Amino acid sequence: MTRHLSLCVLGATGSIGESTLDVVARHPGRFSLFALTGNASTERLIDLCVRFRPRYAVLSGRTSDDAAVRRLRQAGCATELMFGEKSLVEVAAAPECDVVMAAIVGAAGLAPALAAARAGKRVLLANKEALVMAGPLFMQAVRDGGAQLLPIDSEHNAVFQCLPHDAAGRTHAREVRRILLTASGGPFRSVPIERLAMVTPEEACAHPNWVMGRKISVDSATMMNKGLEVIEACLLFGVTPERVEVLIHPQSIVHSLVEFVDGSALAQLSNPDMRVPIAYALAYPERVESGSRPLDLAALGQLSFEAPDPKRFPCLGFAYAALRSGGTAPAILNAANEVAVSAFLARRIRFSDIPAVIESTLAGVARIEAADLGSILAADAAARASAGRRVVQAIGRAA
């Protein structure tokens, strides 16, 4: 009999959180909701609490909200509403919780994901930044805490499925020649490069295949998301940067490939639906129905692949450079990208300014050893301040 699992969903109001809850709802009795969290989406979080009845809910972007507490009580919901970022750590590390879906976007997701790893949870990692910012520290926390780490990004989940691994979910890449991470190329794969300065946030967020949040949609358009995934892959699977390559695959059906030393290659295929990797990780080592429609290769007709253009996607090269530099360089890269993307979404800078802000921040902020969380957070803060100044400079040049 499958053991009943208690689940905490960090970032329940986002796209990954919603997909997670959709899979959970398809398997009543298999999971219970220990905690749901959101940043400041009060109404959405309350609606989820009324539907799923978790023991706790956290609004991390608020210090209090008496009106929200009253609305829960009026709806007959006994969920205890908590507030602030410290509450994220508390629910992620709680002894009553078995599984933590780490789906908070950005640096804000690092502390609770780290707490879940240290507490020995099954951590379903959808937050790229936890590994990008603090990779060696995070992986050490997984080992020290005895946590089980399962990747949720469709690419890393695909690699995980293709690699040999033991019952505890530990993979090894001793017989692997290359890992090939696929990328759709985003909405601007064939747009003339000179037009990129004029694209709007709405165009950048209109992903051709996936339904995602605004920040990650822009990362897909710049291919920074793929650069962050290269960094993640090296940490998750213990391979060097030279053994991880990126391949543009516009159909988003082959989610990644693993090539072995004998010349064989294994790939994981499915329709572009995040419920597939989520269902795999939630039920691991079993497989359960995800809600995704079956794959129809005959209807697709063909699958195509191409190498990424470094001139069109300079952010990919920045990520490889930060990975090879090591230390706090990936944290600086991530912070600069978050600041630049936020400014673009706010219409303060152009799409083509995003890589310029990142490149100048990487050059202007000193890289140090990532000895502990304090040094990583200090580098993050310095990079955000530096990137902020460069955003102001970009605005001045455009004026």
Q: Is pLDDT of 1 > 50?
A: no
User: Going by DSSP bridges, is the β-strand pair 99-102/176-183 parallel, antiparallel, or unpaired?
Assistant: unpaired
Q: Is pLDDT of 2 > 60?
A: no
Nearest Cα residue to 27 out of 248, 264, 265, 289: 289
Mean pLDDT (whole number) for 22-51 = 93
Choice between 285 and 208, residue whose per-residue pLDDT is larger: 285
Output the average pLDDT for the chain.
93
* pLDDT bucket at 208, cuts 50 / 70 / 90: confident
* pLDDT bucket at 211, cuts 50 / 70 / 90: low
| Residue 268 and residue 258 in contact, taking contact as beta carbons nearer than 8 Å | no
At residue 259, the pLDDT reads 97
Q: Is pLDDT of 233 > 90?
A: yes
The contacts found for 45-54 with CB under 8 angstroms, 24 or more apart, are 45/12, 45/13, 46/71, 46/72, 46/75, 46/77, 48/12, 48/13, 48/21, 49/77, 49/79, 49/81, 50/75, 50/77, 52/21, 52/24, 52/25, 53/77, 53/78, 53/79, 54/79
Beta-carbon contacts of residue 200 (< 8 Å; ≥ 6 apart): none
At residue 218, the pLDDT reads 93
Q: Is pLDDT of 261 > 50?
A: yes
User: How many angstroms separate the first and last alpha carbons of the chain?
Assistant: 65
Q: How many CA atoms lie within 13 A of 224 on its CB side?
A: 30
> Based on the number of CB atoms within 10 Å of its own CB, is 311 exposed (0-12), middle (13-18) or buried (19 or more)?
exposed
Q: Is pLDDT of 118 > 70?
A: yes
At residue 212, the pLDDT reads 73
Q: Lay out the sheet containing 148-151: strands in order across.
A: 80-83, 56-59, 31-38, 5-10, 99-102, 122-125, 148-151
Q: Which ranges in the chain belong to alpha helices (H)?
A: 15-25, 42-52, 66-74, 85-93, 110-118, 128-145, 154-162, 201-204, 214-222, 224-237, 275-283, 297-300, 314-325, 329-345, 353-364, 373-398
Nearest Cα residue to 282 out of 91, 171, 125: 125
| CA 218/CA 212 separation, integer angstroms | 10
pLDDT digits (tens, 9 = 90+) for 128-138: 888 898 899 99
| CA 291/CA 279 separation, integer angstroms | 9
User: Going by DSSP bridges, is the β-strand pair 176-183/148-151 parallel, antiparallel, or unpaired?
Assistant: unpaired
At residue 129, the pLDDT reads 81
Mean pLDDT (whole number) for 389-397 = 90
Mean pLDDT (whole number) for 225-241 = 94
DSSP 8-state code for residue 108? G
29 conformational bin, left if phi > 0, alpha if psi -120 to 50, beta if neither: left
Beta-carbon contacts of residue 1 (< 8 Å; ≥ 6 apart): none
Q: Is pLDDT of 174 > 90?
A: no
| CA 261/CA 360 separation, integer angstroms | 39
Torsion of CA 394, 132, 93, 117, to 10 degrees: 180
DSSP 8-state code for residue 4? P
Mean pLDDT (whole number) for 163-175 = 81
Domain 326-399 fold is: Rna Polymerase Sigma Factor; Chain: A (1.10.1740)
Minimum mean pLDDT range among 37-46, 51-60, 261-270 = 37-46
pLDDT digits (tens, 9 = 90+) for 326-380: 999 999 999 999 999 999 999 999 999 999 999 999 999 999 998 888 999 999 9
What is the percent of the chain where pLDDT is above 90? 80
Q: Give domain limits for the chain.
A: 5-151, 154-270+296-314, 326-399
Choice between 386 and 373, residue whose per-residue pLDDT is larger: 386
5-151: CATH superfamily: NAD(P)-binding Rossmann-like Domain (3.40.50.720)
Biggest distance spanned by C-alpha atoms of the chain: 65
User: For residue 123, what are the β-bridge partners?
Assistant: 100, 149
Q: How many CA atoms lie within 13 A of 194 on its CB side?
A: 0
| CA 270/CA 257 separation, integer angstroms | 13
Nearest Cα residue to 135 out of 46, 229, 62: 229
Mean pLDDT (whole number) for 26-31 = 92
pLDDT digits (tens, 9 = 90+) for 48-89: 999 999 999 999 998 888 888 999 999 899 999 999 999 999
Q: Tell me the pTM.
A: 0.90
